[in-house]
Structure formats: C-alpha cells, structure tokens
Amino acid sequence: MSVWILWLILFAGFVTGCVSSKKYYAAIQSGNAREVKAALDQGMDPNETDRDGKSWLAIAAYEDAKGDVVALLLDHGADPKIQTDDGTTALDMAVIKKHAPAVQLLLDRGADPNNIDKRGSTALHKAVRYNSFEITRMLVDQGADTQIKDEKGRTPFDYAVERGNKKIINLLKSRN
C-alpha cells in the first residue's frame, strides 16, 4: 500500500513538472518578458534544459530578437555557457538567428565566443556562414579566435571567401 502511495506522489510530481516545463517553454517561446518573469517568480529554474539539452536561455536566444527575455534570464542567473547535446550554446542560437542584441548581451555576460560545438564550429564560423557582418564584428571585437578550424578543416575566413562576402573577408584579414 505505501509503495502505491509513493508511486502516486512521484507520478503527480512528474506530471506537475512536465506541465510546468511546457508552460515555461511556451512563455519563453512567446518572447513575452512579463510571462517569463512570472514563471521565474513561480520557481522556474533559468538553467533548466529541454529533452534535447537546450537551455531556456538557448531557446530565448533563438526566439527573442530584441533580447528582453535573454536579459531577464541572465538577470535571474542563467548560465550563458551551458551547452546543448551537440555542444552549441545560447550564443550560437542567437548568432544563427542574427539576433544582434542577444549576441551582445550574451557576450557581455560571459558567453564564450570560442566555444566549439561537436562539428568543430564556433559562433564565428556560424556568423560568417550566415553572412552577418555586424555579428562577425561583435565576435571578433570580443576576442573570437579567427584561426579555429572546424571538422572540415575550415576557418571562418575560408567560409567568408567561399561566400564571397568582401566586408567579412576584409574584417577577418584586418584581425589576423
């Protein structure tokens, strides 16, 4: 009998946790800072990850173009260095979506511009591949290593040449 009660208690906690996680995910995905603040006030862990290993901060960095939710999560202790299962970080997610305000916030709050994911890519590789001069400049200004080679043996400069982006080529040349 007591095992049954214990099982019910554990199951109820699991279901509640799942519902809470879905609610938090929806709040973050919506980009509504007020909803995220309410979720944080209700006990949302800013460093929690989803089943794919993405932190709330990584999801916010991908969804939040203005960076309001990113700032809120960082203010509540979110760790910008948490990696997903494939080694990407919130910084990578913001770079991919070209969310410059979020990129700057993450860099200012300790994100590592030289974090290497499982493909050997850094945020700088991604910024160059996505042809984002502004973000490439931000990353280089914050100390991104222009010489790191990915799993294909390519540096960010190699990708800039491949894409023919003269502004990025000139920027990277000037920093080497």
The whole-number mean pLDDT for each consecutive block of 10 residues of the chain, a chain of 176 residues, reads: 49 44 79 90 90 90 92 96 94 98 97 97 98 98 97 97 97 90
| CB proximity list for 7: less than 8 A, separation 6 or greater | none
Domains and CATH numbers, the chain: 2-45+52-175 (1.25.40.20)
At 8 the pLDDT is 45
At 44 the pLDDT is 87
At 13 the pLDDT is 45
What global pTM score does this model have? 0.86
Q: Measured between alpha carbons, how far is residue 153 from residues 42, 124, 146, 158 in Å?
A: 46, 14, 13, 9
Q: What's the CA gap between 3 and 83, in Å, rounded? A: 37
Question: Which pair of structure tokens corresponds to residue 25?
Answer: 């995910």
Quick one: which of 32, 59, 61, 34 has its CA closest to 48? 59
Q: What's the CA gap between 103 and 113, in Å, rounded? A: 10
